[in-house]
Amino acid sequence: MKTIITAIAFTLATTAAQASPLSDFCYNLADLTETAAEARDGGISRTETKTIMVESGFGELLGLVLDLVDAAYDNPWDTPAELMVDTYQTCMVTLSTSV
DSSP-derived letter for residue 78 is: S
- Amino acid code (one letter) for 84: M
Bigger pLDDT: 78 or 8?
78
Phi-psi region of 45 (alpha: psi -120 to 50; beta: other; left: phi over 0): beta
Residues 6+ apart with CB under 8 A from 35: 4, 5, 8, 80
CA 20, 68, 1, 82 torsion-angle sign: negative
pLDDT > 70: percent of the chain:
78
pLDDT at res. 91 = 87
Dump pLDDT digits (tens) for 15-39: 554 556 878 888 989 999 999 999 9
Give yes or no for residue 1 having a pLDDT over 60. Answer: no
pTM beyond 0.95: no
